[in-house]
Amino acid sequence: MINTALTTKSDEQLTSGQKIVNDGLNLIDSSGTRYNRYADTVNAQLKSNPSFGLGILLGTGILWLTNLAIIIPTAKYIAKRKLTYQLADGYQTQLGQEASQISDKSFTTIYIITGVVVFAIIGFVT
């Protein structure tokens, strides 16, 4: 509308286009004000509820306990069984440093996969 008003040199169309732009700017200003009120309300609620830090401590503790009690023992068991099968099948014929290197690589991979599976199950259950 403003482009048409500029090409036709119509003051009425220019005034109408300016009104539309001003209405849009007022809506943007109004939505910003509403968002700021909402943000202030939420921030006030969070400040009045001091249990946020306690939740972080409890969550971290639960993660550590899950890691120590479930993930690490399970990963060690699976890595030990995998290494035993590799040695029994003749895949690894020499014992010693080579076997421990395979075990370290296997343990890292198995540890990550075990962690993902355990936390996925916990997330699904909760």
Q: Which domain holds residue 98?
A: 51-125
* Same domain flag for 56 and 112: yes
* Same domain flag for 58 and 108: yes
* Same domain flag for 73 and 12: no
Q: State the total domains in the chain.
A: 2
* Same domain flag for 69 and 15: no
* Same domain flag for 28 and 82: no
* Same domain flag for 62 and 114: yes
| pTM score above 0.75 | no
- The stretch 98-106 carries a mean pLDDT of 60
HEC string of the chain?
Answer: CHHHHHHHCCHHHHHHHHHHHHHHHHHHHHHHHHHHHHHHHHHHHHHHCCCHHHHHHHHHHHHHHHHHHHHHHHHHHHHHHHHHHHHHCCCCCCCCHHHHHHHHHHHHHHHHHHHHHHHHHHHHHC
* Same domain flag for 75 and 59: yes
Q: Is the pLDDT of residue 124 over 80?
A: yes
What is residue 48's predicted lDDT score, i.e. its pLDDT?
A: 76
* Same domain flag for 57 and 93: yes
